[in-house]
Amino acid sequence: MSTESRFRALVLPHLDAAYNLARWLARDPHDAEDVVQDACVRALKYLDAVRGADAKPWFLTIVRRAFYDWYRSKRSAEILHDAGLAIDIAIDDSAIAQLHEAKPRRQSDELEDAATTLALVNWVVLIVYEMEDASSSDIPLIVDIPIGTVMSRLARARALLQRSPFLRAIVAERAGGRP
């Protein structure tokens, strides 16, 4: 099978997921397009590294790394510094429910504002899990961390979003109340 055929079969079916991830991370559609384009070039270059038929985790890992490189070149050096905040409140199912309620409005300013309160390392895990519906076995491959760290960052992100005034405003608005 030619390189072009393999690229079409293994990478192209995942372009939507790649763009969604890049869009959530970059928070700008034009920047997301740049990140995905860079990821596609990298994927083509390293296509022989794909093992098996499911290239989605492999390609989303490339997208994440392309985003980090883009971010480092365009933004501040704060990208990978985890806030290190301890979770000081119990996490309940309402945090998950609130995120799922906001999911259909994923382009909303309110959700993006809530996202800015999260450390990027937590945000990446949350997006891959909640928005891209990655399996728990794929997430460690995509974000390149152990499963225990994935679960910790996911819990931290949910807890922080639960306390977010932006997300609370979304839920209150849907309930017909005021934030």
For 139-162, what is each residue's pLDDT tens digit? Answer: 898 888 899 998 998 888 888 887
Using left for φ > 0, alpha for ψ between -120 and 50, and beta otherwise, residue 134 falls in beta
DSSP class of 52: S
Query: What residue type is assigned to position 86 of the chain?
Result: A
Q: Is the pLDDT of residue 68 over 80?
A: yes
Token pair for 25:
């991370």
Q: Report the alpha-carbon distance of residue 48 to residue 69 in Å, rounded.
A: 22
Query: Which is nearest to 71 in space by CA: 38, 106, 40?
Result: 38
**How much is the pLDDT for 19?**
95
What single DSSP character describes residue 103? G
Given a cut of 70, is residue 30 above it in pLDDT? yes
What pLDDT digit, counting tens, does each position of 95-127 carry?
Answer: 445 455 555 544 356 666 676 678 888 888 888
169 or 130: which leads in pLDDT: 130
Residue 165's pLDDT band, with cuts at 50, 70 and 90, is: confident
- CA–CA dist 30, 139 (Å, integer): 25
Scored b (16 or more CB within 10 A) or e, 95-127 reads beebbeebeeeeeeebbeebbebbbbbbbbbbb
pLDDT bucket at 16, cuts 50 / 70 / 90: very high
Per-residue model confidence (pLDDT) at position 121: 82
Beta carbons within 10 angstroms of residue 81's beta carbon: 11
pLDDT attached to residue 125: 87
Q: What's the whole-model pTM score?
A: 0.66
Contact 9, 56 (CB under 8 A): no
